[in-house]
């Protein structure tokens, strides 16, 4: 199957959950929506409700305060949902992993299908990660 066929097999709708990120990962996600990266050419778009999403992007550190919110959002997601940890904070905890409020990493809390490390990851890395998911 060619690249185009894979891309257009399904239009993925994406919901972004910021679990207290420093904002850089969030800005890089928004960059994917700009005409430069134009994520919509792959049929993907950001949606305002987890109930409409096929993909859940999580940025930031999983803290004691955010833990119940992350679980709540995941429980409300239509299944199957693909979960992508964006940035080293959600992948491993990064520099915050020894913090007393740290309850992550994300895959300890909810099942994670893909990891896009980096601080912050570039839009190209996010697009590459999401493209790999299209093979699933």
Give the CA count within 13 Å in the CB-facing half-sphere of 100: 0
Closer to ligand SF4 by CB, 130 or 134: give it.
130
Instruction: Provide the minimum distance between the beta carbon of 69 and ligand SF4 in the complex, in angstroms, as a whole number.
Output: 16
C-alpha to C-alpha distance for 121 and 86, rounded to whole angstroms:
7
Place of tokens 């409409």: 52
Residue 22 interacts with ligand SF4 (CB under 6 A)?
Answer: yes
Starting from the edge strand earliest in sequence, which strands make up the sheet with 82-86, in order? 45-46, 13-18, 55-59, 82-86, 114-116
Decide: is 7 part of the binding site for ligand SF4 (CB under 6 A).
no
17 interacts with ligand SF4 by CB under 6 A: no
Interacting span for ligand SF4 (CB under 6 A) from 7-15, 16-24, 29-37, 68-76: 16-24
Interatomic CA distance for residues 89 and 115, integer angstroms: 11
Site string for ligand SF4, 76-105 (x = CB under 6 A): -----------xxx----x-----------
Applying CB under 6 A, the residues found at the interface with ligand SF4 are 21-22, 24-25, 59-60, 87-89, 94, 119-120
């Amino acid at each position: 199957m060619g690249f185009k066929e894979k891309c257009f097999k399904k239009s993925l709708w994406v919901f972004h959950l910021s679990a207290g990120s420093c904002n850089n990962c969030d800005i890089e996600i928004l960059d994917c929506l700009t005409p430069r990266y134009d994520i919509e050419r792959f049929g993907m778009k950001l949606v305002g409700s987890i109930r409409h999403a096929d993909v859940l992007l999580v940025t930031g550190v999983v803290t004691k305060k955010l833990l119940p919110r992350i679980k709540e959002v995941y429980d409300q997601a239509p299944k199957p949902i693909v979960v992508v940890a964006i940035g080293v904070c959600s992948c491993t905890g990064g520099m915050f992993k020894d913090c007393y409020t740290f309850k992550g990493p994300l895959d300890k809390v909810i099942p994670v299908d893909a990891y896009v490390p980096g601080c912050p990851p570039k839009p190209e890395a996010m697009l590459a990660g999401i493209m790999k998911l299209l093979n699933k």
